[in-house]
């Protein structure tokens, strides 16, 4: 049992890993043609970590993120997410584990154009069965935390790209997930706005203990993370502290 007085680091250790990937292999099949993409990935990520995944285009980063996000299944290997063996879950169980455990952030923000910001952020709560009034209240709190409390009723096209990404991050956080998965979250942003978003991720990681996994091509973005996993042609070629990595 976790007690309220237990230090967070110790409580995290008792919970076990957030993500345990063992010998994950993934091939895509087109008829008889097999394209192997991941060749046996072994990665363990603990609660509270901030990890960047880098690698050349086509190295398998998005393929790995899709598996981590339970949006796709590996061809072989074991994935344990927060103590649950993903391959043993039914489709319904998988959907609820995904909704409860993971918040997604995408390169293109993926906001609904005709919906005010507060409703964009409230949407995952509505899917989870929360009432409209309560969902809007919690969405407003998240938007305040990401610095957008003044803009609740604006539409996505009435704010900047960086602000749109902060809305998407608020939406990812609204169900209180254990993990944020972000595939190239700064890919559509200029340098100054990218560092604003990365500062927000850093704050969420350091102040709230949020576990964060981002994919990026940019060394200047990756270096905000504390650990680097580098992929090359579907193999992990580096996994260690960001400080020791050659970016
Ligand atoms: N649905 C698919 N069917 C067949 N091959 C695919 C499919 N999706 C991806 N691939 C191939 O798998 C490999 C890895 O793709 P993936 O999207 O994971 O790369 P990535 O590292 O995310 O690249 P990028 O940096 O360009 O986003 C590529 O060679 C790609 O062509
Ligand atoms: Mg990709």
Q: What is the position in ligand 1's atom list of the atom closest to the CA of 59?
A: 21
Domains contained in the chain, number: 1
Residues contacting 71, CB < 8 A, separation 6+: 98
With respect to residue 170, please indicate whether it lies within any of the assigned structural domains: yes
Let me know if residue 74 belongs to a domain.
yes
User: Measured from the CA of 234, which atom of ligand 1 is nearest?
Assistant: 14
Which of 184, 150, 137, 138 shows the shortest CA–CA distance to 165?
184
Residue 246 lies in a domain: no
Q: What is the pLDDT along the chain (247 residues), one digit of tens a residue?
A: 444 556 555 555 567 999 999 999 999 999 999 999 999 999 999 999 999 999 999 999 999 999 999 999 999 999 999 999 999 999 999 988 998 899 999 999 999 999 999 999 999 999 999 999 999 999 999 999 999 999 999 999 999 999 999 999 999 999 999 999 999 999 999 999 999 999 999 999 999 999 999 999 999 999 999 999 999 999 999 999 999 999 8
Quick check: CB of 230 below 6 Å from ligand 1? no
pTM: 0.92
Is residue 67 a part of any domain in this protein? yes
Residue 161 lies in a domain: yes
Of 42, 18, 23, whose CA–CA distance to 213 is shortest?
Answer: 18
Ligand 1 contact, 35 CB (< 6 A): yes
Residue with tokens 């103590």: 83
Q: Please count the residues of the chain.
A: 247
At 4 the pLDDT is 55
- The answer as to whether 29 is a domain residue is yes
Question: What confidence score (pLDDT) does residue 1 get?
Answer: 46
- The CA 207 to ligand 1 mean position distance, Å, reads 34
Return the CATH number at 53.
3.40.50.300
Alpha carbon nearest to ligand 1 atom 10, residue: 28
SS3 of the chain: the string is CCCCCCCHHHHHHHHCCCEEEEEEEEEEEECCEEEEEEEEEEEEECCCCEEEEECCCCCCHHHHHHHHCCCCCCCEEEEEECCEEHHHCCHHHHHHHHHHHEEEEECCCCCCCCCCHHHHHHHHHHHCCCCHHHHHHHHHHHHHHCCCHHHCCCCHHHCCHHHHHHHHHHHHHCCCCCEEEEECCCCCCCHHHHHHHHHHHHHHHHHHCCEEEEECCCHHHHCCCCEEEEEECCEEEEEEEHHHCCC
Structural domain containing residue 234 = 8-239
Structure tokens at 226: 């504390």
Residue 244 belongs to some domain of the structure: no
Is 158 part of any domain?
Answer: yes
Whether 57 lines ligand 1, by a CB cut-off of 6 Å, is: yes
Does ligand 1 lie within 6 Å of residue 63's CB atom?
yes
Is residue 62 lining ligand 1, measured as CB closer than 6 Å?
Answer: yes
């Amino acid at each position: 049992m976790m007690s309220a007085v237990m230090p967070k680091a110790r409580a995290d250790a008792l919970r076990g890993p957030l993500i345990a990937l063992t010998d994950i292999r993934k091939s895509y099949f087109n008829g008889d043609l097999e394209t192997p993409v991941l060749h046996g990935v072994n990665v363990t990520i603990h609660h509270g970590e901030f990890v960047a995944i880098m690698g050349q285009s086509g190295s398998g980063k998005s393929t790995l993120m899709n598996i981590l996000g339970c949006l796709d299944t590996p061809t072989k290997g074991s994935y344990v997410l927060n103590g649950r063996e993903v391959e043993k879950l039914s489709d319904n169980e998988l959907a609820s584990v995904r909704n409860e455990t993971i918040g997604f952030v995408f390169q293109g923000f993926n906001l609904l154009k005709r919906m005010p910001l507060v409703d964009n952020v409230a949407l995952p709560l509505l899917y989870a069965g929360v009432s409209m009034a309560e969902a809007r209240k919690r969405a407003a709190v998240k938007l305040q935390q990401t610095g957008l409390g003044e803009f609740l009723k604006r539409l996505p096209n009435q704010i900047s790209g960086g602000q749109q990404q902060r809305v998407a991050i608020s939406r990812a956080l609204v169900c209180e997930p254990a993990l944020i998965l972000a595939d190239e979250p700064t890919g559509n942003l200029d340098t100054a706005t990218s560092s604003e978003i990365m500062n927000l991720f850093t704050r969420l990681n350091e102040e709230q203990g949020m576990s964060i996994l981002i994919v990026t091509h940019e060394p200047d973005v990756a270096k905000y993370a504390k650990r680097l996993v580098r992929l090359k042609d579907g193999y992990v070629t580096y996994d260690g502290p960001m400080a020791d990595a050659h970016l």
